[in-house]
Chains A and B, each alone.
Chain A
Amino acid sequence: MNCTEVRENLPALAYGELAATIRGAVESHLVSCLACRQELAAMERIRGALDTIVAPSVQIDVPRLFQDAAARQARRVRRWRRTALAVFGIAASLMLALLLRLQVRVEANQLTIRWAGVSIEEKNHAATPVERVVAPRDPAELAALEERVRFLDELLHALITDVGDRDDRQTERVARLRVRVEELLGQNSRRLSETERNVAAVVTALSHVPGKGEKP
């Protein structure tokens, strides 16, 4: 590992976040490299300086960050749902096409199964012109087909409703979690200000008590 790579990893090392696999390499480099050791020491001094203040006066809007993260997650879920619906739609269309193009015809002495107008029977007589059957002629067959299309349509709608319900439940859950996070953050800041008040009170009390060696 060279100095550049080591220095990229120093922040994570300083906070004990470095993966054990890299830590060994970084630490062995530090043993042999004075410049990188000095860099780490300087970083530690800056961290010490940061510790002189409890919390910076410049605040970060953490609840807003959580909200943004939740919004990003929601967008990802929506994208996934749209893809799933699109895939389902394509599958349904293919099934419909299959049902419409597959033709089964029962005649006096033969059973003809056709796929897009090319029958198995006709394959034996390549020279014979292909007879095209556009739609089933039998009204009963037509009704059965319509029934199947209706069924598929209902199925599709039921699935869409189900996906919608799940989405609503998920949204509610996210909203509840968000409220909880905000509560916790509120509690946290209340506790912090309470601690700060207590510390201030203790400091004030101590500064008013004269030391043993001091004269009143």
Chain B
Amino acid sequence: VSPTASPESASEQRELKQHVAAALADLPEPQRLALILRHYEGMSFEEIARLTGTPASTLKSRFAAALNFLRVRLRHLDPTEEHRP
């Protein structure tokens, strides 16, 4: 965020935050677990695998699925994303 951010971009930012939080809440539990532990807790896939007893490959797939879910949910906010049917 640039220091000279306009009020519009600040409100856009707020809107994005709300959408991200809502999309995270709607994620299926296993995907949310993989995403939050990897992205917010900064744990590696191997560490999460040891902690949850789930194979790292499964966690990576769940993580990718979670990102795809968010991508679809946040598509309308991303001008670079193509609007596919």
What is the interface of chain A, defined by CB distance below 8 A to chain B? 7-12, 15, 17, 41-43, 45-47, 49-50, 52-53, 55-58, 60, 62, 65-66, 68-69, 72
Chain B stretch 14-32: residues in CB contact (< 8 A) with chain A? 16-17, 20-21, 24-25, 32
Considering the complex, give the chain B residue whose CB is closest to the CB of A69: B51
Say whether A15 contacts B33, CB under 8 Å.
Answer: no
State the main secondary structure of chain B at its contact with A.
helix
Q: 1/0 per position for B36-55, CB-CB distance to A under 8 A?
A: 11111100111000111100
CA distance A59 to B76 in the complex (A): 26
Tell me how far the C-beta of A138 lies from the nearest C-beta in chain B, rounded to whole angstroms.
60
Residues of B within 8 A of A12 (CB): 45, 60
Considering the complex, give the chain B residue whose CB is closest to the CB of A7: B64
| B8 CB–A CB distance under 8 Å | no
Partner pick for A42 among B33, B37, B81, CB 8 A cutoff: B81
Chain B contact-residue range equals 35 or more
> How many residue pairs at the A-B interface have CB separations less than 8 Å?
84
State the main secondary structure of chain A at its contact with B.
helix
Chain B stretch 59-74: residues in CB contact (< 8 A) with chain A? 60-61, 63-64, 67, 70-71, 74
Tell me how far the C-beta of A135 lies from the nearest C-beta in chain B, rounded to whole angstroms.
54
Residues of B within 8 A of A8 (CB): 57, 60-61, 64
CA distance A39 to B32 in the complex (A): 20
Say whether A69 contacts B50, CB under 8 Å.
Answer: yes
Can you spell out 10 A-B residue pairs with CB atoms less than 8 angstroms apart? A8-B57, A8-B61, A41-B80, A49-B77, A53-B20, A56-B40, A57-B25, A58-B32, A60-B37, A69-B52
**Given the interface contacts A42-B71, A45-B78, A46-B71, does A11 sit within 8 Å of B52 by beta carbon?**
no
